[in-house]
Amino acid sequence: MLAVGLIALLAMSCSSSKASPNAAASVHASSKPAPPPPTVTITVHPAGFDPPAVTTTVEGNIVWTQGDAKAHTITSGDPGKPDGKFESGPLAKGSSFTLVLHTAGTYHYFDKNSPTLSGQIVVRPH
């Protein structure tokens, strides 16, 4: 009888030491790294910004590349009404300006040196 009790106790201890399927799954589960923020590129031409309107997400990179011999600026707001949210300063040919916006919304911008040149950025949440 003692031998039967020992065998039963040994069988119970072996079965209770096995990991449950859920425990094994949680050990092997891993989270994927966040994708890098998107980048949109806008080229500054004598005739305007190309493209004139872009859409990105919060934390996305917006890059203006200056392709004109004349200096241009990237100034937030509307022509004659800058709103102070961002300003590139004068951009010479071949230079660039990178902006990261942290709040969803619609942003307007223009060129102080050529106020007829304007554009728009739509920033969506993640």
The tokens describing 17, both together, are 């030491």
Is 26 in a helix, a strand, or coil?
helix
Task: Give the separation between CA 97 and CA 106, rounded to whole angstroms.
Answer: 19
- Which is nearest to 88 in space by CA: 101, 103, 99? 99
pLDDT tens figures, 107-119:
999 999 999 999 9
Tell me the chain's radius of gyration from C-alpha atoms: 30
| Higher per-residue confidence, 31 vs 92 | 92
Instruction: Place domain 39-124 in its CATH homologous superfamily.
Output: Cupredoxins -  blue copper proteins (2.60.40.420)
Query: For residue 7, is pLDDT > 90?
Result: no
Domain edges within the chain: 39-124
Q: What is the pTM of this model?
A: 0.73
Q: What proportion of the chain, given as a percentage, has pLDDT over 90? A: 70
The tokens describing 10, both together, are 């040994």
